Amino acid sequence: MKKNLILALCLLLAGGLSAQDLIHLSTPHTSLVLSAPEGGRLRYVYYGTKLTHTDLKALEGTSIADAYPEYGSSCPAEAALAVTQADGNMSLQLEVERVATTDSDGAQEVAIRLRDTVYPFSVAVCYRAYHDVDIIECWTELTNSGKKPVTLRQFASAYLPVRRGDVWVSHLHGSWANEANLVQEPLKPGMLVIDNKDGVRNSHTDHAEVMLSLDGRPQENAGRTIGAALCYAGNYKLRIDTHDGEYHNFFAGINEENSQYVLERNETFCTPELALTYSSEGLSGASRNFHRWARQYKLANGTKLRKILLNSWEGVYFDITEEGMDQMMQDIAGMGGELFVMDDGWFGAKYPRNKDTSSLGDWVVDTRKLPHGISGLLANAKKHGIGFGLWIEPEMTNTTSELYEKHPDWIVNAPQRDPVTGRGGTQLVLDLSNPEVQDFVFNLVDTLMSNYPGLEYLKWDANMSIPSHGSGYLPADRQSHLYIDYHRGLEQVMKRIRAKYPDLTIQACASGGGRANYGVLPWFDEFWVSDNTDALQRVYMQWGTSLFFPAVAMASHISAAPNHQTFRTIPLKYRIDVAMSGRLGMEIQPKNMTDEEKNLCRKAIGEYKQIRPVVQQGDIYRLLSPYDKLGAASLMYVSPEKDKAVFYWWKTEHFVNQHLPRVPMAGLHPDKCYRVHELNRIDNKPLDCEGKVYTGAYLMANGLELPYNHVVDYHKQNDYASRVLYLEEVER
């Protein structure tokens, strides 16, 4: 008996449960503490820096709020969960039933099972705390054990109380071709709602991630910061409710609007994970935590370096020909690139895809354009010594297509109503809640990969929202499941694809940056940040994106001047320097480039290969924000060993005799010595710092003096300036 008691106590403590029913989840530098007395309420106690045993003990007997507030126990307050029982009862009252803890290699998982005091309805509030990255994922599993269905009206993934004071929120807002603009505002009384209702894509306008700066106006490298990223690809809703209490109430989850979910008997509904991080090193500190977790756990092939590619879209648009593709492949290979991607326009038999009005779904090669098909192109790519990839848009069709002629019932549209079309006036969304459609989408990829095993890369696009709510597959009384089941369908397909083709590189594109989210990234290697490739605007968009997503996932391409979206003429040097801060690629017709331009790109590609591990796997330190409007922007990546770093500096506006700030660096080792070398140099004379050795301490205290213009021949002068510096550790 005594032995059993000791064993039980050991298990309890190993699982993070103290004798006072405290659950202590911890990561290398953070702690999350809950109180879960059996038969009592699950209460939130603490989230922040890692607690010592002494502090943990001091927290015993204290708590802040219910950890997963349900509607019914305190109706005037915002709720995370609201359900209607079969008998019409709209309330819940949850108490702790049991706590289960498992410890795997990578993480500690805790599931606290709550059950309703009257109805056979239970909730598992789940947490996953990683051992090697400072992220705690939270989600819930809602189970109906009754005989009749229960309706879920609200079903957030998680709730977090945040102490009021001078809390600021940073979030991303934008639109097509202007994605991921950083918005920073203090939290005020009232409700801040950040949501999405697109149905298919969810990051054009707003993003499902936020940072909360607890010490006033957000700083990049100082200040207590909570980061939260909802790992979901569909409609979401983030709410920050500031009422009359001491806490801001943060809720995140699937957007429940028009998505009431009927939970059958014995069915369990899993909400998507909310990933939480905490850092006392400001926004950049929280970003580094997200990036490490992403590369390690949340991004397909996140620890692999990405190839440097040329994508055909802005070079030729729909004008695909065999000779044209061959020429582009030869050109990118000649500049040192490693992969070529043929974008839209290569398919369609009965209806050739010459513009965006037809053919989606007819995934057969148009042999009028490509007489030797994909095999011919693959053979040419091989000849040039590069890889080859393809654009597809598998979730869509057009009214003008063989697929739609055969399966008009496969589309998403309100029953009885004329199809509401999107892009090109003819595009339609396929109904991924339908398993037949899921098979069709899986088979498209499977057939391509079986027929052309040499394919290395797919650009997976999604260029439309759901304009008309309705599924021909879902029964009449389950139409409100469409938005959720669409994304479950997509997940099913992606899981099958990834199980069979784990090494295939897949880009998530969705009219540009519509799918930058951690819902899809477990299946995708990267995303297209925006259809806007203008380097100056990209400084802003990539800055915002980098708050949550690592450079290895951010496709960033050198494109033409004037730019095709902004019509701005930006010198090649600047376009290169911006593209080199993400996953470098090109989006241009190399035929139209001069030899001098090609040489500059060849040099840049060669240098990018050298810094690629630092950019794609290093730690980000954002230094000078373009949003602060000080005339320049700057950030750097530092290798985990702190022996190499890449520093970027871009001028963002141009005035004569401007006084731009000198930018102190960050993230270096103060005691190490670094030799400075400028990459992509165009100046006639080297920088004063070229080849010189500085200590990390000096560079972090003072930065380096950078001239605000380039010293080039008169006819080459222009109004842009940018610098990329490579720092390498040298022996003292």
CB of 512 to ligand GLA, least distance (A): 5
CB of 344 to ligand GLA, least distance (A): 4
Q: How open is the CA angle 630-635-636, to the nearest 5 degrees?
A: 155
d(CA 32, CA 3): 31
- What is the DSSP code (8-state) at residue 307? P
Helices marked H in 265-319 — which ranges?
282-293, 313-316
CB of 526 to ligand GLA, least distance (A): 13
Give whichever of 458 and 624 is closer to ligand GLA, judged by the CB atom. 458
Give whichever of 276 and 342 is closer to ligand GLA, judged by the CB atom. 342
DSSP, residue by residue, 375-439: HHHHHHHHHHT-EEEEEE-TTEEESSSHHHHH-GGGBB--TTSPPPP-GGGTEEEB-TTSHHHHH
CB of 370 to ligand GLA, least distance (A): 17
CB of 338 to ligand GLA, least distance (A): 20
CB of 653 to ligand GLA, least distance (A): 28
Give whichever of 218 and 513 is closer to ligand GLA, judged by the CB atom. 513
Where along the sequence are the contacts to ligand GLA (CB under 6 A)? 313, 343-344, 356, 391, 461, 463, 509, 511-512, 528, 531
d(CA 119, CA 92): 8
Please choose, from the candidates 377, 284, 381, 281, the residue with its C-alpha nearest in 3D space to the C-alpha of residue 338.
381
Give whichever of 66 and 531 is closer to ligand GLA, judged by the CB atom. 531
Give whichever of 174 and 272 is closer to ligand GLA, judged by the CB atom. 174
- What is the DSSP code (8-state) at residue 16? T
DSSP, residue by residue, 38-60: TTS--EEEEEEEPPPHHHHHHHT
Structure tokens at 378: 């693959």
Give whichever of 486 and 528 is closer to ligand GLA, judged by the CB atom. 528
SS3 673: strand
d(CA 16, CA 34): 10
d(CA 611, CA 580): 9
**562 prior amide bond cis, ω within 30:** yes
CB of 557 to ligand GLA, least distance (A): 10
Give whichever of 21 and 343 is closer to ligand GLA, judged by the CB atom. 343
At CB < 8 A and 24+ separation, what contacts does 403-410 make?
Answer: 403/360, 403/361, 403/362, 404/361, 404/428, 409/472, 410/434, 410/436, 410/437, 410/440, 410/472
Residues 6+ apart with CB under 8 A from 406: none
SS3 35: strand
CB of 313 to ligand GLA, least distance (A): 5
Give whichever of 283 and 310 is closer to ligand GLA, judged by the CB atom. 310
Give whichever of 125 and 579 is closer to ligand GLA, judged by the CB atom. 579
DSSP, residue by residue, 514-546: TT-STTTTTT-SEEE--S---HHHHHHHHHHHH
Give whichever of 146 and 512 is closer to ligand GLA, judged by the CB atom. 512
CB of 389 to ligand GLA, least distance (A): 12
Please name the amino acid found at residue 516. Answer: A
Give whichever of 338 and 356 is closer to ligand GLA, judged by the CB atom. 356
CB of 308 to ligand GLA, least distance (A): 17
CB of 298 to ligand GLA, least distance (A): 23
d(CA 271, CA 273): 7
Please choose, from the candidates 39, 44, 19, 45, the residue with its C-alpha nearest in 3D space to the C-alpha of residue 96.
39
CB of 502 to ligand GLA, least distance (A): 24
Q: Which residue is nearest to ligand GLA (CB)?
A: 344
Beta bridge partners of 513: 510
Residue 97, Cβ neighbours under 10 Å: how many? 15
Give whichever of 413 and 511 is closer to ligand GLA, judged by the CB atom. 511
Give the burial string for 238-259 (b: 16+ CB within 10 Å, else e): bbbbbeeeebbbbbbbbbbeeb
CB of 391 to ligand GLA, least distance (A): 6
Using only the alpha carbons of the chain, give its radius of gyration.
27
CB of 510 to ligand GLA, least distance (A): 7
Give whichever of 564 and 675 is closer to ligand GLA, judged by the CB atom. 564
Structure tokens at 227: 């980061």
DSSP, residue by residue, 90-138: ----EEEEEEEEEE-SSEEEEEEEEEESSSSEEEEEEEEEESSSSEEEE
Give whichever of 356 and 485 is closer to ligand GLA, judged by the CB atom. 356
CB of 412 to ligand GLA, least distance (A): 19
Please choose, from the candidates 226, 227, 235, the residue with its C-alpha nearest in 3D space to the C-alpha of residue 206.
235
Q: End-to-end distance of the chain based on CA atoms, in angstroms?
A: 64
Give whichever of 209 and 461 is closer to ligand GLA, judged by the CB atom. 461
Residues 6+ apart with CB under 8 A from 366: 320, 346, 347, 348, 349, 352, 353
CB of 616 to ligand GLA, least distance (A): 21
Residue 78, Cβ neighbours under 10 Å: how many? 18
Give whichever of 434 and 565 is closer to ligand GLA, judged by the CB atom. 565
d(CA 134, CA 131): 8
